Amino acid sequence: MAASRDFATICCAGSNGGFVLRKPLRLTRGIVHVDANDDAARMVTEIEFSFAALNGSARRHIRVFQIHQFLDRFAMGLTVAVVALALTDRGMDLFQISLLFGVYSLTTMAMELPFGGLADSIGRKPVFLTAVVASLISLVLFLSTRDFHVLALSFAFIGFGRALRSGTLDAWFVETFNAAAPNVDVQPALAKAQWANAVGLAIGAVLGGLMPDVLGEVAKSLGFSIYDVSYVASFGVMLGVLVFTMLAIVEKPRPRDVTALMQGFANVSTVIKDASVLALKHPALSVLLAALAFFLMATNPVEVFWPTHAKPMLDEGYANTVIGVVTATYFFSIAFGASLSPHISRIFKRRHAMTLAASFAVLVS
């Protein structure tokens, strides 16, 4: 989300995760420019990644970020498999559930642009900590109500936190890695972080589905929903993420720019216009964006609603566990893909555009 960082993160993801392409971009006056020869130039200048050959500082940096990504996504994974079931248990129908996810998506899109330069102005760590606080507030609101309007506020906070999270610590990771290991190919290091990210989601999904089946009766005896146990666990892990971020993520303090947020809102129309012109001038980028839009429109409804249709087909005693395991296979597949990505990239001689094109070809086939 940061406008002046040397690397941008292009996330192609559904509401619960997805695949990620991180490509070097040149930025001028806050506008992203894609250089056609970036991949070829970096092939010549970069040193091939080898974890064992990295210095201690770079290896430690990767491990810290892996742990951080695992914990953050583990907290999210605890609720991702049961969110639609938890909403159904709170009396929401499918139309209301779709509206709630619409609130989340609209909030994320609306907040992404005005808050885009905030991390550059006040620092990546403070912005991420704010995102974690937003997630904690959303969990408290969710656990405290069965009212549609309060649940909508909870989903708005989820979207707000998602917007603040978007690329924030990825930029911190890339910048710090480049300082610790100059001219070393960063893509395999990012793949390691993405692997930890997906494994956290997968393990969280398994446990998030298991806990309602194991502890649901205890929750009901205390007057709570069986799915509240997954949300309480997510709240506890998210508190751990907050503490880990404060202690383990090291960033030099930046001078506070109080006008940054106002400038962000003022520049929204300009950014949208410039981004549209950029897409129109690059047909490949237009095709990529259109493909992603259709891909997400096709997959997201299935991703959200399938548990509500699958649960009646399963035995009541272990239905949530099965749903959690099935959801986890999606994230384990992402982790497997992330582990393969450096090797696939090497096949295409680290030409990331060609790697992405081949990936899309496989998806379409």
Q: For the domain with range 7-364, which CATH number is right: 3.30.450.20, 3.30.565.10, 1.10.150.530, 1.20.1250.20?
A: 1.20.1250.20
Residue 112 pLDDT = 79
Is the pLDDT score of 313 beyond 70?
Answer: yes
User: Distance between CA atoms of 137 and 143, rounded to whole angstroms?
Assistant: 10
SS (H, E, C) the chain: CCCCCCEEEEEEEECCEEEEEEEECEEECCEEECCCCHHHHHHHHCECCCCCCCCHHHHHHHHHHHHHHHHHHHHHHHHHCCHHHHHHHCCCCHHHHHHHHHHHHHHHHHHHCCCCCHHHHHCHHHHHHHHHHHHHHHHHHHHCCCCHHHHHHHHHHHHHHHHHHCCHHHHHHHHHHHHHCCCECCHHHHHHHHHHHHHHHHHHHHHHHHHHHHHHHHHHHCCCCCCHHHHHHHHHHHHHHHHHHHHHCCCCCCCCCCCHHHHHHHCHHHHHHHHHHHHHHCHHHHHHHHHHHHHHHHHHHHHHHHHHHHHHHCCCCCHHHHHHHHHHHHHHHHHHHHHHHHHHHHHCCCCHHHHHHHHHHHHHC
Which range has the worst mean pLDDT, 113-122, 129-138, 149-158, 162-171? Answer: 113-122
Contacts of residue 99, Cβ cutoff 8 Å, sequence gap at least 6: 152
Residue 33 pLDDT = 40
Give me the phi and psi of 351, to 5 degrees please.
Answer: -90, 95
Contacts of residue 285, Cβ cutoff 8 Å, sequence gap at least 6: 34, 278, 279
Report the chain's mean pLDDT, rounded to a whole number: 80
Report pLDDT digits (tens) over 98-117: 999 999 999 998 887 777 66
Which range has the worst mean pLDDT, 8-17, 44-53, 281-290? Answer: 8-17
The predicted model gives 305-330 an average pLDDT of 89
User: What is the identity of the amino acid at 86?
Assistant: A
Does 82 or 123 have the greater pLDDT score? 82
Give me the phi and psi of 21, to 5 degrees please.
Answer: -115, 125
pTM: 0.77
Is the pLDDT score of 150 beyond 70?
Answer: yes
Residue spans of the domains in the chain: they are: 7-364
Does 58 or 340 have the greater pLDDT score? 58
Report pLDDT digits (tens) over 227-281: 999 999 999 999 999 999 999 998 888 776 667 667 766 676 777 777 778 878 8
Residue 90 pLDDT = 95
**Tokens (6 digits) for 311:** 């649960």
**Tokens (6 digits) for 31:** 């506008």
Does 183 or 70 have the greater pLDDT score? 70
Is the pLDDT score of 1 beyond 50?
Answer: no
Is the pLDDT score of 132 beyond 50?
Answer: yes
Report pLDDT digits (tens) over 185-227: 787 888 888 889 999 999 999 999 999 999 999 999 999 999 9
Is the pLDDT score of 10 beyond 80?
Answer: no
Is the pLDDT score of 17 beyond 70?
Answer: no
Is the pLDDT score of 141 beyond 50?
Answer: yes
